[in-house]
Amino acid sequence: MVEIPDSHPRKKSLLSRQKIVEGSSKGLLADSAMIAHGRGEAFDYLLGERTTESAREAIRESASRLREANRPVISVNGNTVLLAGKKALRLAAVLGCPIEVNLYYRTPERISGLLTLLEEQKLVVLGESGPERFEGNWGDSVRAVSLLGSSPDFRIEGLEGPRSHCTEEGIGAADSILVPLEDGDRCEALVNLGKEVIVIDLNPLSRSAKMATVTVVDEVSRAFEGILHELIANPNRVPTEWDNASALSSSLGEINKFLNK
Ligand code: ATP
Ligand code: MG
């Protein structure tokens, strides 16, 4: 790995790129993963590379909806595991839910490579003391997180081919799905199945962002951290009547504000 000096003004961004490049050379990502990452970077630039006030609202809403769900699941792709796998695991431990590796360009090799990486990340998270003010046994909660995706036995209705495959135990039976960087078609199909779909996507104009029940327009690592913090800091908050179209237009407003500052 190339050493990036602490003083480099774009250190964070360069480190993220490095993770994607390395994941790609290990065969964990489809070729299009870099294009998706670049598109995300561009929108993050326009948002000022921070969690905006409207994203903060969506984070609060997502946390309360995931807490209220009967069967939540976190669906992850390669970019998410590489950029924020440990954060996904911490969130799953607090929510008491599984993580499912679900790829648009599914191959058994990439699924098993990403599951192995998640197992390694799980050992790291297991060695931590857990978030401050977390009530419960951290080790037990982390150990209880199932990592799904290797044996798909369910199909998402309305989609064709490998991208429709998932597990019944995870996405199939879930009533609420937290899914960063999802494709618009799959997001729509999940919503059509009557599921609550909480999308994390830096592009407020993407089809996923528009189709979702709640869209968090934020970078996936920041969004996971925000949801985790919210779950612990405000355990009694309840879901609201969420107007996602209006939240998305606030996100566009944040870009405008940032550019005109
Ligand atoms: P859609 O299918 O929803 O219309 P798309 O085809 O434009 O979207 P995809 O490649 O399907 O794009 O999905 C990738 C999405 O993930 C992009 O909208 C991109 O902005 C977003 N994205 C990429 N990296 C990140 C990241 N680190 N955090 C949050 N979002 C990201
Ligand atoms: Mg797409």
**Are residues 155 and 193 in contact, defined by beta-carbon separation less than 8 angstroms?**
no
Q: Is the CB of 203 under 6 A from ligand 1?
A: yes
Could you tell me where the beta strands, DSSP code E, fall in 85-137? Answer: 99-101
36 C-alpha to center of ligand 2: Å?
Answer: 9
Cβ 39 under 6 angstroms from ligand 1: yes
- Whether residue 104 contacts residue 112, with contact meaning beta carbons closer than 8 Å, is answered with no
Looking at residue 73, its pLDDT comes to 98
Answer whether residue 211 shows pLDDT above 90: yes
Asked if the model's pLDDT at residue 2 lies above 80, the reply is no
For the Cβ of 251 lying below 6 angstroms from any atom of ligand 1, the answer is no
Could you tell me the residue ranges of all domains in the chain?
Answer: 53-259
**What pLDDT is stored for residue 236 in this prediction?**
94
Residue with tokens 């790829």: 103
pLDDT band at 111 (very low <50, low <70, confident <90, very high): very high
CATH class belonging to 53-259: alpha beta
How remote is the CA of residue 106 from the centroid of ligand 2, in Å? Answer: 15
**Could you give the CA distance from residue 36 to residue 29 in angstroms, rounded to a whole number?**
11
Beta strand pairing status for 214-216 and 176-180?
Answer: unpaired
- For a mutational test of ligand 1's pocket, the pick from 20, 203, 227, i.e. the residue with the most ligand atoms closer than 8 A to its C-beta, is 203
Tallying the residues shown for the chain, one arrives at: 261
Distance from C-alpha of 58 to C-alpha of 61, rounded to nearest angstrom: 5
Q: Summarize pLDDT for 161-183 with one digit per residue, the tens.
A: 889 999 999 999 999 999 999 99
Atom of ligand 1 minimally distant from the CA of 41: 24
Q: Is the pLDDT of residue 1 over 70?
A: no
- Give the tens place of pLDDT for each residue, 64-97: 999 999 999 999 999 999 999 999 999 999 999 9
